[in-house]
């Protein structure tokens, strides 16, 4: 079953982050009930993979000023049928940042989030069931802004609230500071 690996990741994540049970259960239900959960064509929503990219010292994160949503967010995108969601996160991080030396810190989930994507001319309102992985940039922090972004920036974790008040980003900052779970 192509969804079994993600369900196993979610089960292990659930045991580490009991305070997030409501969202985890909702994500598990979606994955269990929707055979096409990895397909962008599923109009109610779909799985996405994101990268929480940190510098080697884990003191800064790379955020993108997303063109379509006009907000500072972590790199990420659609699975487009790929059930290897860690690889999706790595692919999206490479495509959106141009960083060559990315390292997957752990193949376990770092964070999950479910967020509503507003309707646009070519697609209805839908949910992104986002699976996030901790990725290190290594020593080379030279990035390139892709067509999907207005800008990219390395942001000190202590300065993150100058860019965003998104609760899921603030949650990932807290997890980075307390990264002993990874």
Q: How many domains does the chain have?
A: 1
What CATH number is given to the structural domain containing 19? Answer: 3.90.79.10
| DSSP bridge partners of 132 | 50, 111
Q: What is the pLDDT of residues 52-103, one digit of tens each?
A: 999 999 999 999 998 877 889 999 999 999 999 999 999 999 999 999 899 9
Q: Which of 77, 82, 59 is nearest to 133 (CA)?
A: 77
Burial of 77 (0-12, 13-18, 19+ CB in 10 A): buried
Instruction: For residue 23, report the phi and psi dihedrals to the nearest 5 degrees.
Output: -70, -40
Domain around 28: 4-181
Where the chain has pLDDT below 70, the residues are 1, 179-182
First to last CA, the chain: 27
């Amino acid at each position: 079953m192509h969804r079994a690996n993600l369900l196993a990741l979610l089960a292990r994540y659930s045991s580490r982050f009991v305070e997030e049970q409501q969202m985890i259960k909702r994500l598990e239900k979606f994955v269990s009930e929707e055979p096409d959960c990895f397909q962008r064509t599923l109009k109610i929503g779909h799985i996405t993979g994101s990268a929480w990219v940190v510098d080697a010292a884990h003191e800064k994160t790379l955020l993108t000023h997303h063109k379509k949503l006009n907000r500072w967010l972590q790199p990420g995108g659609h699975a487009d049928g790929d059930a290897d969601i860690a690889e999706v996160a790595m692919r999206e991080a490479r495509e959106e940042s141009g960083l060559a030396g990315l390292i997957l810190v752990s193949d376990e989930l770092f964070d999950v989030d479910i967020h509503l994507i507003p309707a646009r001319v070519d697609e209805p309102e839908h949910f992104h069931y986002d699976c996030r992985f901790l990725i290190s940039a290594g020593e080379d922090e030279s990035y390139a802004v892709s067509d999907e972004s207005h800008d990219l920036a390395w942001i000190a974790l202590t300065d993150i609230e100058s860019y965003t008040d998104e609760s899921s980003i603030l949650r990932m900052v807290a997890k980075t500071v307390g990264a002993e779970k990874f």
